[in-house]
Structure 1
Amino acid sequence: MRQPIFIGVCGGSGSGKTTIVNRINSEVPEKSISIMEHDAYYKDQSHLTYEQRCKTNYDHPFAFDTDLFVEHIKELKKGSTIQKPIYDYGIHNRTKETIISEPKEIIIVEGLLIFYEERIRELLDIKIFVDTDADIRILRRIVRDMNERKRSLDSVINQYMSTVRPAHEQFIEPSKKYADIIVTEGGNNLVAVDLMVTKIKSLLEHAYRA
């Protein structure tokens, strides 16, 4: 197999990154694509109590084990298998289990801060930034966190105002300048998503012929 093609998908919380990644994933043969989520690489916090873990700023670069993330991308680039961490939002910590992730022709690298980190940027072949208005992002985040993570409305809003919004303005929004492609309105922009899927399929066809 040729060296994998790494496609970065970056954007603010609630921007529609996951929708785009899932759409790409559904259109490409499973044997040809895998996903690397930066969120899976939050630092291990076993040394902290649950109450202390709740106070961590999960939107700051310091919250991520980016050293391990970069190491794993490099291993996949070389054709090696990795043991990808599993993060449990219910306990705000990694689990003891891992997922075996093998190198594929296409590897999607997804996360809030992947364009902010130069070490990650330089490993990506294509960089896509999902640019969605703040009012839509906060509404999506409220729905997701209340339904999927069983959080209260007050806690979601407080976290957004205290950490999510400041981090977006400080780290995420400025990193948009590094993108090769900017997709507005996230997964709702079906034309842009379809164009990306077509491009990825073209890359795969070229890889198969090589």
Structure 2
Amino acid sequence: MTNKTLLFGIVGGSGSGKTSIANALLRRMGEEGVNALLLDMDAYYAPLEVVKARFHGRPINWDHPHAFDLELMASHLKALAQGQPIRKPIYDFKTSDRLGWEEPLNPGQVVVLEGLLLFALPELRDQMDVKIFVDTDADIRILRRIQRDTAERGRSIESVIDQYLNSVRPMHLEFVEPSKRWADLIVPVGVENTTALDMLLHHVLGRLGEQG
């Protein structure tokens, strides 16, 4: 069997804990000697001028597919699956703009991808080997988002709540929640679900073992 870099997609609403799940899975794979790379969809927001043009002067909805550079991400996933290096965009959340490009990243044996819309968009979803949905209650998600955006992104509580009501929640209901049906595994709670993490690690090792 020809070796192929495995693409593991992790989706969940904003604040669901998908990043924590991804990091925990990478740490466990590293302990087993698996060479893995983490790739976040947030890095693939389109340049600010492009996003402004797409919304034609309307308020920008950062949770809508139009805010992302989907063509670039799809091409990067294809390259990674074939074992080719990519240069990941550098995105700054304080200026809402792309700043440049990272040094080339080699995919290794596994690439763990995490993001809101990975399963909602067929150009991304169809490239995933395994699809995981992190299912966390809305009240926990909004509290985590408030903590993150105020501490890490310099936002006010009022602006975080306004964005949640005007775009995050509607887009979650339109795109994120329905994409649960594409998942191979739904993980309740989040990173505290050690049984699910054990299952995921076992599956990774099994898939790699099949490739020899």
Q: Is TM > 0.5 for Structure 1 vs Structure 2?
A: yes
C-alpha offsets along residues 187-207 of structure 1, whole Å, 9 cap, x if unaligned? 122221222123223333444
Question: What does the per-residue CA deviation read over 1:21-56, in whole Å, with 9 as the maximum and x for residues that have no partner?
Answer: 0101111227610122111110011476xxx99x42
Q: Identify which of 151, 155, 162 aligns with 2:155.
A: 151
| 2:24 corresponds to 1:23 | yes
Q: How many residues are matched?
A: 204
Conservation of the 8 A alpha-carbon contact between 1:85 and 1:99: no
Shift of 1:86: 1.1
Unaligned runs of 5+ in 1: none
Partners of 1:121 and 1:148 lie apart in 2 by 29
Equivalent residue for 2:204, pick from 200, 204, 208 = 200
5 Å-filtered alignment, 1:25-44, equals 25-29=26-30, 32-44=35-47
For the residue of structure 2 that corresponds to 1:43, the secondary structure is coil
Distance 1:171 1:99 in 2: 32
Structure 2 residue aligned with 1:74? 78
Classify the secondary structure of the residue corresponding to 2:14: coil
Taking only aligned residues, the RMSD between alpha carbons, in angstroms, comes to: 2.0
Alignment-mate amino acid for residue 177 of structure 1: R
1:90 aligns with 94
CA contact (8 A) 2:8 2:111 kept: yes
> 1:1-210 maps to which residues of 2 (within 5 A)?
2-29=3-30, 32-46=35-49, 55-207=59-211, 210=212
Tell me the TM-score normalized by structure 2.
0.90
Give 1:136 deviation, angstroms: 0.8
Question: Percent identity between the aligned chains?
Answer: 43
Task: Give the Cα–Cα distance (whole angstroms) in 2 for the partners of residues 27 and 142 of structure 1.
Answer: 29
CA contact (8 A) 2:87 2:101 kept: no
Q: Which amino acid aligns with 2:16?
A: S
Q: CA deviation at 1:103?
A: 2.2
User: Aligned to 1:34, what secondary structure does the other structure show?
Assistant: strand
Distance 1:136 1:100, change over 3 A: same
Counterpart-to-counterpart distance in 2, 1:158 and 1:111: 21
In structure 2, distance between residues paired with 1:34 and 1:97 = 17
8 Å CA contact 2:132–2:185 kept in 1: the answer is yes
Are the aligned partners of 1:32 and 1:106 in contact in 2 as well (CA < 8 Å)?
Answer: yes
Q: Which range moves more in the overlay, 71-80 or 95-104?
A: 95-104
- For the Cα contact (< 8 Å) 1:86–1:99, is it kept in 2? no
